[in-house]
Chain A
Amino acid sequence: MLLIGLVMFALAPLQIAGAPYESTMGLIQKVFYFHVPGWIVMFLAVFVAGISSAVYLFRQKPLADRLAVAAAELAVIFGIIGLTTGPFWARKAWGVWWQWDARLTMALILEMIFCAYLLLRRYGGPGSDKLAAGLALFGMANVPFVYISVNVWRTIHPSTSVVPQLAASAPGMFGPFVWCMVAFLVLFVVMLVARVRLEAQRAEAERLYLVLEEG
């Protein structure tokens, strides 16, 4: 799977370069191939983190906690991809680097919640795992509220209907887009699995240390 991911990412630039230019946006439109998958994967990560945190809170399964940490870290990373690629597009399309638009604000707030999650895990000391699980659960529950509340300020973001229409309206762009989407999903799964395994190994190492000290 790691191999598939690597090959897909290696070939992604070729795919993107081969895609037709968009008539008004020109070259800048091409960030779209990384921008949209980045955000979609971030939302996926947020929900994985929220749900596995709930499982951890009520069932105390260590695996769920590891999954939550891994997903939260990935949410921050993919969020950064979205937040850095977005402004390039915004500069060209809206003439400014940042707009207080519904989706931008929501994405920023979510990014902040999960940064807070990582800060808490890093500096919270013992017992912070449960606390962080509570935070991730609240963060997930927050998604619709943030969206509604910021949506009432007017929105200027291109709507989601762009993606479903893409297959019909611009077949040359649809291929590379799906390619990048799959590449991002593969990357997400690979990193998630690797991170969960790392966390499991760390727990095992800690357990062995304790055994060694006691013995």
Chain B
Amino acid sequence: MNSFLRVAWLVMRKDLRVESRSWEMMSTTLFFAVSCVLVFSFAFVREGRAIEGAAAGILWIAVAFSGTLSLGPTFERERYHDALRGLLLAPVERAAVFVGKLFGVLLLMSIVEVVVAVLVALLFQAPIIQYFWWISALLILGNLGFASVGTLFAAMLARTRSRAVLLPILLYPITMPALIAGVMGTVAVIQIEPNFELARFWLALLLFFDAIFLTLALWTFEPVMTE
């Protein structure tokens, strides 16, 4: 177990170091997320005010779209100089490699989410800061579910043609429950009269979703990555 965590840590540290040299993923993803918020605000703002419930939707759409953008390059980078093969040939547990990659993506997505959440709070007068813990819990759990499926699919797609197109096609239908739970949970919290009972239900659903799909992803990573 100790070596498992160590491998995961090393993979994550490597990814973050590569990222810190160029800031390529971080900057592009962040810019894209902000553009998403802007585009959707044109659709959902009427006479200076956003339609009720639009803020939650915009927040989650920005998270999902920018998440896809940051998932692609995590394995795309490994394709240069056959690094992916090296990573898979390493005498360590495959699942540890997956977990390392997953946490790298999670960290990047979380930074983007903080920025997007603050932006949505400011632009749509949504009480996101007041309910900081609720929104963070929803975002963290939603993010974990989305990224565990996404990391697995990005890994599987790394060797196929037209991967850039296929990733969102495969990812959105599968992660739909997590996105619905995230949006509805956020709506329940930030509406004029918050319904925490309902928000708790959505959090529980997200937790179950994460548990099942993280297990499935860890379980299938080994066979799908074997050539």
Contact = CB atoms under 8 A, between A and B. Distances in A.
A146 B156 contact: no
Contact of B177 (A133, A134, A137, A149): A149
B166 A119 contact: yes
Contact of B174 (A124, A130, A139, A148): A139
Interface string B152-195: 11001101111001100110011011001100100000000000
Contact of A137 (B176, B198, B201, B216): B216
B149 interface: yes
A76 interface: no
Contacts of A127: 159-160, 227
Interface in A142-191: 142, 145-146, 148-150, 152
Given A123-B161, A123-B166, A146-B176, A130 B156 contact: yes
Given A146-B176, A146-B177, A116 B169 contact: yes
Nearest to B165: A123
B160 A137 contact: no
Given A112-B173, A141-B213, A149 B181 contact: yes
State the main secondary structure of chain B at its contact with A: helix
Interface string A108-150: 0100110010011001111110110111011101100110111
Nearest to A53: B220
A80 interface: no
* Contact-residue size bin, chain B (C-beta under 8 Å from the other chain): 20 to 34
B212 A137 contact: no
A139 B213 CA distance: 11
B160 A57 contact: no
Q: Which among B169, B170, B208, B209 has the highest number of chain A CB atoms within 10 Å?
A: B170
Contact of B176 (A58, A109, A134): A109
Nearest to A140: B216
Contacts of A57: 220, 223-224
B205 interface: yes
Nearest to A148: B205
Interface residues of A, number: 30
A128 B220 CA distance: 14
A106 B48 CA distance: 35
A131 B160 contact: yes
B166 A134 contact: no
A146 B174 CA distance: 9
Contacts of B220: 57, 134, 137
A124 B224 contact: no
Interface string B48-69: 0000000000000000000000
8 contacts: A120-B166, A124-B160, A128-B160, A131-B224, A137-B220, A142-B176, A145-B177, A148-B205
Interface of A: 57-58, 109, 112-113, 116, 119-120, 123-128, 130-131, 133-135, 137-139, 141-142, 145-146, 148-150, 152
Given A120-B169, A130-B223, A138-B149, 5 more contacts: A125-B160, A127-B159, A134-B156, A145-B208, A152-B184
Interface of B: 149, 152-153, 156-157, 159-162, 165-166, 169-170, 173-174, 176-177, 180-181, 184, 198, 201, 205, 208-209, 212-213, 216, 220, 223-224, 227
